[in-house]
Structure 1
Amino acid sequence: MPPKQDTLPKNWPPILPYLRAPSYSKSLTPTYLSALRTKPQDIPVIPTNTPRGPCQLVRITPITSPSHPTNGQSGLFATRDLKPATFILQYIGEIHATPSNSDPDPHAESNYDLSLDREHGIGIDADKRGNEARFINDYRGVAERPNAEFREVWDERRKERGMGVWVLPEGKSGKGRGIRRGEEILVSYGRGFWGARREGEV
């Protein structure tokens, strides 16, 4: 059953399915699922007290500043002060495999597709369904540097790999300052993301 309207995050798009757990593409064969459910060494674990459903640490907020690159869309903002290296929330969407043959990749044009396992070609796409993490914007044009990062995580309750959003730890470009209440959560999408977008514009 779809989530009740009153249990959705504030400002969640009504036409978009909200996920509390990943969905799985039919492209995930047993080989892919085995890779997904094999725990790598030295991988951070999602805190077991992390609630399923809307995250109380963040708020989806419409962007109304003309100077913001995503003006007219939305961003994700902190609802309280977040210390360096804090786990914020999991990036949830459809876990899928990238076609290894000449079949077209239905996720190739998505702006919400994160690579989870490059070796096996596994990704997480939140284009058509997901959670609040899909609203995280790139720092370029907004701030001097990102204040958060995507990092692979292990979901102990589901016994599988995933992608998490973390406040940058001390010693990285965030310089250990954390994220203040009301501040936009910003990551770096990476050069590959922007390079592919520039190629598409040619």
Structure 2
Amino acid sequence: MPKSDSGRLPKNWPPNVSYLTAPSYSQALSAAHLSSLRTRPKDTQDIPPNTPSGPCPLVKITPITSPSHPAHGQYGLFACKDLKPGSFILPYLGEIHGPPSCSSDAASPSCVTSSDAADPHAASDYDLSLDRELQLAIDAQRKGNEARFINDYRGVADRPNAEFKEVWDPRRRERGMAVWVLGEGRSGKGRGGVKKGDEILVSYGRGFWGARKTDG
């Protein structure tokens, strides 16, 4: 059975994945990585103070039944209510990790990656970059929250209706990633938020799909 810090699990949560209500940390993170993680970057938004610790009431994990959907037979994340443009949805939780060869006593935040070092996150489809320079990322493959079920918009809609953005958690006083509804844009037109019952969709980015074309 999956573990949960709160004792509650969202409906349709997979039995082989641990449910998180707070970030998990790789034991291989260096002191320098942790220091950077707890230093607020400029121009980052705060996670709203009323964000619940546990299942998010704004979303639900739902089986994908449409044969034309690229994730048919899997799951997606859907809105439980209308979500306004530019509004916060939920944090992206998982295991925060650095490069595969970092040791817990490493002095440098950008440890030298050995070609022989096994990277347990290399094949993950749930690994989201937090800091490319320091090679910090958040992997929700084995442990995470509802945000891990967000699908890419390609093959589903004309464009995404949400996005991943770096955030600052004032309660934990550390950096993180979260999911936000896309804003209205400069014109204030063209994006009406996310309607109740709609699937929440982001763009995984060209790098994600490029790496899988190479692997294939």
Match of 1:101 in 2: 113
Q: Which runs of 5+ in 1 are unaligned?
A: none
Give the Cα separation in 2 of the matches to 1:187 and 1:14: 25
**Which residue identity does 1:199 align to in structure 2?**
T
3-state SS of 2:51 partner: coil
CA RMSD of aligned residues (A): 1.8
1:29, distance to aligned residue in structure 2 (A):
0.6
Residue 171 in structure 1 maps to residue 172 in structure 2:
no
Q: How many residues align?
A: 201
Kindly indicate whether the alpha-carbon contact (under 8 Å) linking 1:147 and 1:174 is maintained by their aligned counterparts in 2. Answer: no
Query: How do 1:44-193 residues align onto structure 2 when only pairs under 5 Å count?
Result: 44-99=45-100, 100-102=112-114, 103-171=117-185, 175-193=190-208
Match of 1:41 in 2: 42
Give the Cα separation in 1 of the matches to 2:129 and 2:57: 26
Q: Provide Cα deviations, 1:115-144, integer angstroms capped at 9, x if missing partner.
A: 000110000000001000000000000000
1:176, distance to aligned residue in structure 2 (A):
2.9
Q: Provide Cα deviations, 1:78-131, integer angstroms capped at 9, x if missing partner.
A: 000000001000000000002332122211110000000011000000000100
TM-score, L = length of structure 1: 0.95
Of 104-113 and 124-133, more deviation after overlay is shown by 104-113
3-state SS of 1:65 partner: coil
Give the Cα separation in 2 of the matches to 1:10 and 1:155: 26
Residue 197 in structure 1 maps to residue 197 in structure 2:
no
Query: How do 1:3-22 residues align onto structure 2 when only pairs under 5 Å count?
Result: 3=4, 7-22=8-23
3-state SS of 1:7 partner: coil
Give the Cα separation in 1 of the matches to 2:189 and 2:200: 12
Give 1 or 2 for the bigger CA radius of gyration.
2
Give the Cα separation in 1 of the matches to 2:121 and 2:5: 28
Of 161-170 and 172-181, more deviation after overlay is shown by 172-181
**Which residue identity does 1:3 align to in structure 2?**
S
Kindly indicate whether the alpha-carbon contact (under 8 Å) linking 1:43 and 1:152 is maintained by their aligned counterparts in 2. Answer: yes
Give the Cα separation in 1 of the matches to 2:129 and 2:139: 9
Kindly indicate whether the alpha-carbon contact (under 8 Å) linking 2:91 and 2:179 is maintained by their aligned counterparts in 1. Answer: yes
Kindly indicate whether the alpha-carbon contact (under 8 Å) linking 1:145 and 1:174 is maintained by their aligned counterparts in 2. Answer: no
Give the Cα separation in 1 of the matches to 2:25 and 2:137: 11
Kindly indicate whether the alpha-carbon contact (under 8 Å) linking 2:99 and 2:113 is maintained by their aligned counterparts in 1. Answer: no
Give the Cα separation in 2 of the matches to 1:86 and 1:112: 23
Distance 1:169 1:154, change over 3 A: same
Of 9-18 and 116-125, more deviation after overlay is shown by 9-18
Kindly indicate whether the alpha-carbon contact (under 8 Å) linking 2:85 and 2:181 is maintained by their aligned counterparts in 1. Answer: yes
1:5, distance to aligned residue in structure 2 (A):
9.5
What is the identity percentage for the equivalent residue pairs of Structure 1 and Structure 2? 65
